[in-house]
Structure 1
Amino acid sequence: MLRSLRLASLFGLLLVNTGCGERAPTSLPPIGKGDYRAVIEHLRQSIPEQMRKNHVPGLSLALIDGQELVWAEGFGLADEALHMRVTPTTAFRAGSLSKLFTASATLQLVEQQRLSLDAPLSRTLPEFRVRSRFHADARSANDAITLRRLLSHQAGLPSEFLPRLRTDDPLKYLPQKASGLWLNNPPGTQMAYSNLGFALLGAAIERSSGQPFETRLQQHLLQPLAMEHSSFVGNSELQPYRARGYLQGQPSSDEEIRDLPAGGLWTTPRDVGQFVQMLFAQGRFDGRQLLSQQSVAEMFRQQNRANALDFDCPIGLAWYLGPCGDPRIGPQLQQWQHSGSTGDFAAQLSVLPEPQLAVVVMANADTAEALVSEVATQALRLMLQAQGNQLVCPRDCAPSLPPLAAAAAPSPHDRQRLAGLYASPLGVIRLKDQRHQLFAELGGKRVELLRDSQGWLRAQKKLLGLWSLDLGLLEQLQLDVISVAGKEVLAVRRHGQTLPLGERIDPGPIPADWQASVGRYRLISPNEREPLLDGLTLRIDQGLLLAQGRRKGETLGEFVVQPLDDAHALLAGSALGAGNTLTRHSDGLRVLGYRFVRSPDQDAGLQL
């Protein structure tokens, strides 16, 4: 998962359900040099209580120090109905940790000159083509989609191709099916997280190697790394050592995943630890060179240094080269990491490359994402002490925020500048200048924003300015609107790092054809299991065209639609999912491979 999305989710959760959400970091005991026993004992004591508070049935972790597996252990239940306990050999869905293995397999083929990092994807997958409003012709658009940009989420592709996401469709058919998608943004200018991009990399691995993705990964990466409980194939019922995932306390349906290279890996923290040991050894494991030193170095070289819109989130080839909104372990300490989430599972891999320390944490619930991140941070800090390093910042490396008591309402000019509508991954965030105060509004709830003594906007402990309210960690987020790359970006600052949260969108003319498209739509997708959306609503509010998705009767976030012409419109903004192109047709709307037609029960009351 992308860290800016996690920040957006945190902001939204706390704004809508004030006082809840992510907890303050746990205090850690002092650890003597070499005393890994004390590290293990502390984690054994603290993890079960954290699992209970977060309603997580099962968790597993592994600690790695250079070429040594320090500890691997399981906690809780892999399957509540069967009372099956988690052990070090219990496999979990790794989610987007899968991308790290797809990147490694890609680099192996680059070394063999079967693929080239800077060659167009179309050289390997000629049936995949893109449409672009950023290029003069189709050829230049397709040539801009390189493997390097796919590996660093800079290819400008949409985040998903939606039809049949949760199926076992062969990967080889995806390039043809997804061909013709519109680019979301200009390639090479912005990091925009894309599962589709990594699925296409998997198809390129199959095509260039002549082997199915699973076979290739098993023979050239997983088996050489002795990852005995790891595979990209199947669901939890395929192997008895796989955990069951949980959603809202109930077992998940555990559907197959089409985009295996992006999120399909089943593995254990111990197995992932052996992958990390290979990277610590410059690509060598058990006497065999699996990746060249040059490939390992390229994987961890920052690829987005020139992208102003990425703010404080550096990325290499698949790896995040900074905490990207998570706590820093040390002020000058390099920190590589990646998280993974499939909804019913969560995982975190955090690495300190200089002391060669790593932690892998995996859990089996939709409530586990913050927990696995916090446990990984705690464990790394404890391990640093065990290596003989004094913790410069035992809890958080970010400087303390100034007290809100000294904060003041923004000036009239400041409020006027800030007021507006901002498109974010959560939906529409509104900053409103009312009664000489500035409010942030999302999902029907709002808080007042004040300027602190550092010049950042902060939420105060009042709802609607009337009564006291505990905002929890929302008070620790600083906000402001920053002009960058020709955009007005609502940025959030946390743990001393600044990341984009939303982009200002001003009302514009809505063509008559799009005005006539206002209404309710239903999904037409034969044989679709568990669609991401099953309905869509378009409405006009305060001069803006808004789209809101539906799934199983539940309304999802609302997003601004910006018409380009009579037939095409964009989901506004520059965050995850923004830039997607909606196309009008005589029978309805198309977006990311989904086809929507008007619902028979749609009514004209949707235009306000």
Structure 2
Amino acid sequence: MFHALRLPLLGCLLGGTGCQALPVTPAPDIRQGDYSELIVYLQEHIRQQMQAHDIPGLALALVDDQQVIWARGFGYADRERRIAASEYTAFRIGSLSKPITASLAMQLRERGALDLDAPLQSSLREFYVRSRFHTDQAAADRAITLRRLLSHQSGLPTDHLEGQVAKLPLPLGELPALASGTWLSHQPGTQTVYSNLGYALVGAAIERTSGCEFEACAQKSLLQPLGMRHASFLGNSGQQPYRARGYMKGKPSADLNIRDLSAGSLWASPVDLSHFVQMVFADGRYQGRQVLQPASIQEMLHPQNVGNALDLDSSIGLGWFLGTYGDELATPGLRVVEHSGSTGDFNAQMTLLPEQRLGVVVLTNSDSAAAVTSQLASLSLRLLLQARDGKPASPPGPPRRTNRQRPSPQDRQRLDGRYATGSGLIHIRSQGERLYAELSGLRVELLRDDEGWLRARKKLLGLWPLDLGELGRLQLDVVTLQGRQALVGRQHGQTLFIGERVDAMPIPREWAAMVGDYRIAGGKDDALSLSLRLEDGFLLARGRSAGEPIGDYILHPQDSAHATLAGSGRGLGDTLSLRPDGFEALGYRFVRTDKKP
């Protein structure tokens, strides 16, 4: 809720020119079986990107089936102490922890200790949910299963914010009781909506079922059998000399402990994760030991969300995001298995081609490295394919120039409105004979291309077209999905749900009286804060985190005591409950900071 979230097709709208495609030096001709040219090229490319984006440290591993082709560190694990990064440096990998957690759950399932399709309450009896989608409380609780948690289809909110990070370690086992009574944000089993809370509860269920703390269970069952010597879910960079220091805006980060270990707290090196990749490629086997059964690996890589209309081309397995497409740097048409991770001060990417048994791990210790990690992974895979198969897999050339025309009056009228997305409110409005889209201070004109899709255009001083990078290549439109006017985007052959149109609705006087400024009770001055205001019949919430704006969101009152963040998707659908001194949401209590009208 109120996070600076990035959706795959929408993040560029928040960054403006920050989403320009990364410059890539033309790759060399690579002979079949010759990885030396690949390594020489990547070394220079990585140094260029690190300098251009002020990335202190980066480390990667390239895997060809059961062989690590290359693993290397660049820059600094700790810039102030001049500690160099290496392939054995452990970085915090954020949500890249989730495939590891899913593997632990599958191990318990193999032993008959966990049932993926049983209600979560079978393992965590104290956990229950509140639902506006069910009339029967028991039915709502039964709808929360491990399979839905592992595939982000549980309907739970993205996070339970209170106590998520702190200076002192917080027990994962206390979370089920703390989060009990959480309101569902979406109807379970109907849409894939990313949830860290869901994976944290999976970790709590693993603890409860195995009878040991999550870290001990992970070490014994998976990390040690895979030889992941520097991997651990506990602690921070100050506790181990081989751990990297994270950086935010070029400065060392606070490096706090993460309560939700199983969702995003793992520390691991590229070498550690290369062992995990080898295990996946070998159908669960590593150095003669069957760590996971082949059937478990196959099920984790099998789509779990078939039939979800709002998911469109998004496909998800158990712990993995799946695709059958390529991006601008990988050969299109290949089956891709991937996961990324970010804790703000660290960014990570792991991308696999399961049929070709090629994989890449990229880890960085900077908030400025998100685009670098994903594009470096794609570039490395393209070069690996070329080196192994001897067939050039060149990225496509510049986008084909297309004729663009202004939408018709009827088209402009149909599209005009406010659209709720996880990155904030997009306002599409007709002005004269033109159509514009506005999000977080960025305003672009929308034109129809030759294929009938909407494309963004922006001119400097209204005269000279600007290169909008990925945003300029993104194709948009509004379609009807399950009775909703959905804003969708197409990029690299994939169509994804971005947001939905939201119309004004009556606002009860209890919620109209909430207009004003709020902060988290007991929070620091730079912690999450927000303001509520009325505008054109909408009740809008504008959030700020650490002083930075994080977009506008529409509140839809459900009754005199509850309202939801309008829309479907990550960070949306969450419930706010009125209190005498403010309101409560996702474990946080917000109190008024201005004088009540």
| Shorter-chain TM-score tier | over 0.9
Distance 1:550 1:445 in 2: 17
What is the CA-CA distance between 1:328 and the residue it aligns to?
6.8
What is the CA-CA distance between 1:459 and the residue it aligns to?
1.5
State which of 391, 413, 417 in structure 2 corresponds to 1:416.
413
> Does residue 14 of structure 2 align to residue 12 of structure 1?
yes
Q: Tell me the residue number matched to 2:64.
A: 65
What is the CA-CA distance between 1:178 and the residue it aligns to?
0.3
> Does residue 474 of structure 2 align to residue 472 of structure 1?
no
Equivalent AA in structure 2 for residue 394 of structure 1: S
Equivalent AA in structure 1 for residue 253 of structure 2: S
CA deviation map 1:36-57 (0-9, x unaligned): 1111111112110011111111
Q: Indicate how the Cα distance of structure 1 residues 505 and 463 shifts in structure 2: closer, same or farther if over 3 A, else same.
A: farther
Shifted more, 468-477 versus 342-351: the winner is 468-477
Q: Residue 516 of structure 2 contacts residue 592 of structure 2 at CA under 8 Å; is this kept in 1?
A: yes
What is the CA-CA distance between 1:493 and the residue it aligns to?
1.3
Q: Indicate how the Cα distance of structure 1 residues 516 and 323 shifts in structure 2: closer, same or farther if over 3 A, else same.
A: farther
Map 1:515-534 → 2, pairs under 5 A: 515-525=512-522, 533-534=527-528
Q: Residue 19 of structure 1 contacts residue 470 of structure 1 at CA under 8 Å; is this kept in 2?
A: no
What is the CA-CA distance between 1:470 and the residue it aligns to?
3.4
Structure 2 runs not aligned, ≥5 long: none
Q: Tell me the residue number matched to 2:143.
A: 144
What is the CA-CA distance between 1:603 and the residue it aligns to?
6.2
- Considering only aligned residues, what root-mean-square deviation do their CA atoms show, in Å? 2.0
What is the CA-CA distance between 1:25 and the residue it aligns to?
5.2
> Does residue 395 of structure 2 align to residue 395 of structure 1?
yes
CA deviation map 1:330-354 (0-9, x unaligned): 3331111000000000000010111
Q: Residue 64 of structure 2 contacts residue 357 of structure 2 at CA under 8 Å; is this kept in 1?
A: yes
State which of 525, 534, 537 in structure 2 corresponds to 1:540.
534
Partner of 2:351, secondary structure, is strand
Q: Residue 109 of structure 1 contacts residue 115 of structure 1 at CA under 8 Å; is this kept in 2?
A: yes
Equivalent AA in structure 1 for residue 577 of structure 2: T
CA deviation map 1:286-311 (0-9, x unaligned): 11111111111110110011111112
Q: Tell me the residue number matched to 2:100.
A: 101
Q: Tell me the residue number matched to 2:549.
A: 555
Q: Indicate how the Cα distance of structure 1 residues 524 and 322 shifts in structure 2: closer, same or farther if over 3 A, else same.
A: same
CA deviation map 1:510-541 (0-9, x unaligned): 1111111111122114xx6x799532211111
Distance 1:512 1:278 in 2: 59
Q: Indicate how the Cα distance of structure 1 residues 553 and 53 shifts in structure 2: closer, same or farther if over 3 A, else same.
A: closer
Shifted more, 547-556 versus 94-103: the winner is 547-556
Q: Residue 228 of structure 2 contacts residue 272 of structure 2 at CA under 8 Å; is this kept in 1?
A: yes
What is the CA-CA distance between 1:550 and the residue it aligns to?
2.8
What is the CA-CA distance between 1:597 and the residue it aligns to?
1.7
Q: Residue 118 of structure 1 contacts residue 147 of structure 1 at CA under 8 Å; is this kept in 2?
A: yes
Distance 1:402 1:89 in 2: 43
Q: Indicate how the Cα distance of structure 1 residues 3 and 23 shifts in structure 2: closer, same or farther if over 3 A, else same.
A: farther
What is the CA-CA distance between 1:157 and the residue it aligns to?
0.3
Distance 2:86 2:311 in 1: 39
Paired residues, number:
593
Q: Tell me the residue number matched to 2:218.
A: 217
Q: Residue 324 of structure 2 contacts residue 333 of structure 2 at CA under 8 Å; is this kept in 1?
A: no
Q: Tell me the residue number matched to 1:270.
A: 271
Q: Tell me the residue number matched to 1:174.
A: 175
Q: Tell me the residue number matched to 1:320.
A: 321
Q: Residue 415 of structure 1 contacts residue 433 of structure 1 at CA under 8 Å; is this kept in 2?
A: yes
CA deviation map 1:272-326 (0-9, x unaligned): 0100111111111111111111111110110011111112111000101127895
Q: Residue 410 of structure 1 contacts residue 437 of structure 1 at CA under 8 Å; is this kept in 2?
A: yes
Q: Tell me the residue number matched to 1:125.
A: 124
Shifted more, 85-94 versus 314-323: the winner is 314-323
Q: Indicate how the Cα distance of structure 1 residues 534 and 481 shifts in structure 2: closer, same or farther if over 3 A, else same.
A: same
Map 1:217-256 → 2, pairs under 5 A: 217-256=218-257
> Does residue 596 of structure 2 align to residue 596 of structure 1?
no
Distance 1:471 1:59 in 2: 27
Q: Indicate how the Cα distance of structure 1 residues 518 and 483 shifts in structure 2: closer, same or farther if over 3 A, else same.
A: same
Q: Residue 352 of structure 2 contacts residue 358 of structure 2 at CA under 8 Å; is this kept in 1?
A: yes
Distance 1:201 1:472 in 2: 39
TM-score, length-normalised on structure 1? 0.94
Q: Tell me the residue number matched to 1:458.
A: 455
Q: Indicate how the Cα distance of structure 1 residues 437 and 280 shifts in structure 2: closer, same or farther if over 3 A, else same.
A: same
> Does residue 160 of structure 2 align to residue 158 of structure 1?
no
TM-score, length-normalised on structure 2? 0.96
Q: Matched residues, percent identical?
A: 52
> Does residue 564 of structure 2 align to residue 564 of structure 1?
no
Equivalent AA in structure 1 for residue 273 of structure 2: V
